[in-house]
Chain A
Amino acid sequence: MLELRNVSYRVENTEILKDINLKIDDRFVAITGPNGSGKSTLAKVIAGIFVPTSGQILLDGEDITNLSITERANMGVSFAFQQPVRFKGLTVKDMISMAAGEKLSISTACTYLSEVGLCAKDYINREINASLSGGELKRIEIAMINARGTKLSIFDEPEAGIDLWSFNNLIRVFEKMHERTHGTILIISHQERILDIADKVIVLVDGRVDTYGAKEKVLPGLLNVNAGCRFTKGE
């Protein structure tokens, strides 16, 4: 179980996360909210990329607040970037092997790639460089998290850029991942269909947890909100 206690994160004079308290132990938990509400920052704080200004983070009861990215990764935290990183020289097979923590056979690496809809034969020896499109990189990023198979997997907008690949496939990847890991999959998303598979939904607004609860309770409220900001509504 992942627990955040009074977590705040400040950059210079701007408080990006404000006193976040969460307990997360369901299968699928979605984080949603307007742009700039702090979703990606929250994910990075959990993965150890940002260190909170105050508060505590616990994984299965153990305080991981001061642990490094590597230590958290080895304890079972995975993080799929919103914008995957490119590497000159490292191949898809290298990256999936590093993710799995062992040298993979071609057939095992192929299984992970096929699951995200990539024909392994075409990709296995490709470099993770500028020759790959954003959508291809996103799928490879998901394949890496799948290869890690950790108890907590965080995805930052996994659906962005993979329009040609159906949502159903993406959802199936998450379901299979859970069958294998029996862990928690935390997904940042704006997509209704992704939110729809969540057991629980967290709504972040302006760096605070606005709502956190079962999908059935949170979603109707979200979808009925009158669009527009105070300015356009003449407030």
Chain B
Amino acid sequence: MDKIQLSLLEQVADLHEVPEGAYSLRIDGVLYGKRSSENIEIVKKEDKPGIDIIIKPGTKNESVHIPVLLSQTGLKELVYNDFHIGEGADVTIVAGCGIHNGGDGDAEHSGIHSFFVGKNARVKYIEKHYGEGDGNGKNIMNPETVVEIDEGGYMEMQTAQIKGVDSTCRKTTARLKKDATLIVHEKLMTHGEQFAETEFEIDLDGENSGTHVVSRSVARDHSRQKFLSNIRGNNRCSGHTECDAIIMDNASVIAIPEILANHVDASLIHEAAIGKIAGEQLIKLMTLGLTEKEAEEAIVNGFLK
């Protein structure tokens, strides 16, 4: 790996080198390296780009890292990663994509991640997106996540896109069985002329299934954001979707939360709020000695922490 790639790796996965344990590292459109562990098998797909990650039932406290780095301008790829999480497993999966685009061609990574969460399994999925480079080419990422959670399963998704991605269209669809839970924490910041669209479509099919989707975003400069969330309660279930956006400068944000109850015991709530930083928040931090700019940064950083 060269310096640029190592720095991208640090940005998206907090890693300084190839990680310990099971991993798969994809650089510039090819599989750079992978390692399976005793309980986590990583298999390269033969029919299309991507990997299968197979986690044995009962695997506890293990993690998998699957970062993707792009440092060539003009490179476009579509990758399929399938995660099979065995019954009763408890694992952490760290994904992420970093693009350094120093040229004039667009660099684009689209990943379709499918999760099959087994009975009573628990997964924490962390995904960071980051872009950089001073070329005119755009950094584009279009992640799609498809989740199926079996009875009693639990998945927590933490996604963050804080810097440098010019255009993103993120789609997450999920289907939950009895007693299954899906928690989503999304953090997003757009600046410059960026555009980000994020869409959630969640079917609560099983009795006592539940979901909590929380999106916090900051839109600066001339950037535009669109948030769509659709939770369908098809059984006795609970669903909550919350979109909270700070708008700055000349940005534009649209939030469209939608909830649909197909069952009398479906309890669904949606909340959406968009607003600029409150003047009194700035004043409070200024009375602590921060300049207006520092106060703004502190508020934004806290909000997206």
Q: Chain A residues in contact with chain B, CB under 8 A?
A: 47, 49, 68-70, 73-74, 77-79, 81, 84-85, 87-91, 94-95, 98-99, 101, 144, 148
Contact = CB atoms under 8 A, between A and B. Distances in A.
Contact of B305 (A70, A73, A79, A89): A89
Given A85-B280, A87-B281, A79 B287 contact: yes
Interface string B271-305: 00000001011011111111110000011011111
Given A85-B278, A88-B303, A68 B286 contact: yes
Which 10 pairs across A and B sit closest by C-beta, in order of nearness?
A: A89-B302, A90-B302, A69-B286, A73-B289, A89-B303, A85-B284, A79-B287, A70-B286, A85-B280, A74-B289
Contacts, number: 61
B244 A73 contact: no
B302 A70 contact: no
A98 B305 contact: no
A99 B304 contact: no
Contacts of B283: 49, 69, 85
Contact of B290 (A77, A79, A85, A98): A98
Q: Is the interface of A mostly helix, strand, loop or mixed?
A: mixed
B302 A81 contact: no
B302 A85 contact: no
Interface residues of B, number: 22
Contact of A88 (B284, B290, B302): B302
A88 B292 contact: no
B287 A90 contact: no
A27 B271 CA distance: 48
A51 B292 CA distance: 17
B298 A70 contact: no
A69 B295 CA distance: 12
A79 B290 CA distance: 13
A78 B284 CA distance: 10
Contacts of B302: 87-91, 94
B288 A87 contact: no
A170 to B, nearest CB: 20
Contacts of A101: 288-289
A99 B288 contact: yes
The residue among B280, B285, B305 with the most chain A CB atoms within 10 A of its own CB is B285
Nearest to B283: A49
A84 B287 CA distance: 12
Contacts of A78: 287
B289 A90 contact: no
B287 A69 contact: yes
B291 A70 contact: yes
10 contacts: A81-B284, A87-B299, A87-B302, A88-B216, A89-B302, A89-B305, A90-B299, A90-B302, A94-B298, A94-B302
B288 A85 contact: no
A232 B201 CA distance: 64
Contacts of B299: 87, 89-90
Given A85-B278, A88-B244, A90-B302, 5 more contacts: A70-B291, A73-B288, A89-B302, A91-B302, A98-B288
A167 to B, nearest CB: 25
Nearest to A80: B287
A98 B303 contact: no
A35 to B, nearest CB: 21
B91 to A, nearest CB: 26
A49 B302 CA distance: 23
Contacts of A91: 302
A94 B284 CA distance: 13
